[in-house]
Copies of this chain bind each other. A is one copy, B any other.
Amino acid sequence: MILIADNLQITRPEIERAIADLNPAPIQHLVRCCQTAGAHMIDINTGPLPKDGGKNMAFLVETIQEVCDLPIMLDTVNPLAIEAGLQAARSKVIINGFSLEAHKLECILPLAKKYQADIIGYLLSPAGQVLRNADERLAVAVELLAEFENAGLNKESLIIDPLVVRIIWQDGHLQAGQVLRTIKDLPDVLGFEVKTVVGLSNLTAGAKGHPKRLVLEPVYLSMLAAAGLDMVLLDIFHPQTIAAAKAADALIGEKPFAWDE
Q: Which listed residue, B177, B244, B248, B250, touches A252 by the CB 8 Å rule?
A: B177
Bound CA span A224–B250, Å: 15
A168 / chain B contacts, CB cutoff of 8 Å = 257-259
| Per-residue interface assignment for chain A, residues 239 to 260, with 1 indicating a CB less than 8 Å from any chain B CB and 0 otherwise | 0000110111011111111110
Task: With CB as the reference atom, state the residue of chain B lying closest to A255.
Answer: B173
Task: With CB as the reference atom, state the residue of chain B lying closest to A249.
Answer: B173
Report if A234 contacts B (CB, 8 A): no
Q: List 8 A-B contacts (CB under 8 A).
A: A172-B257, A173-B256, A176-B251, A219-B244, A219-B251, A220-B247, A223-B251, A226-B227
Q: Is the interface of A mostly helix, strand, loop or mixed?
A: helix
Bound CA span A247–B87, Å: 44
Instruction: Report which A residues bind B (CB closer than 8 A).
Output: 167-168, 170-173, 176-177, 180, 184, 207, 210, 212, 215-216, 218-220, 222-227, 243-244, 246-248, 250-259
**A177 vs chain B, min Cβ distance (A):** 4
A184 / chain B contacts, CB cutoff of 8 Å = 184
Task: With CB as the reference atom, state the residue of chain B lying closest to A166.
Answer: B257
Closest A-B pairs by Cβ, 10 of them: A222-B222, A223-B226, A177-B252, A226-B226, A219-B247, A219-B222, A215-B247, A176-B251, A167-B257, A173-B257
CB <8 Å contact, A251 and B218? no
CB <8 Å contact, A252 and B223? yes
Q: Which listed residue, B170, B220, B252, touches A180 by the CB 8 Å rule?
A: B252
CB <8 Å contact, B220 and A223? no
CB <8 Å contact, B167 and A216? no
Task: With CB as the reference atom, state the residue of chain B lying closest to A178.
Answer: B252
Which one of A218, A251, A258, A259 has the highest number of Cβ atoms from chain B below 10 Å of its Cβ? A251
Task: With CB as the reference atom, state the residue of chain B lying closest to A183.
Answer: B226
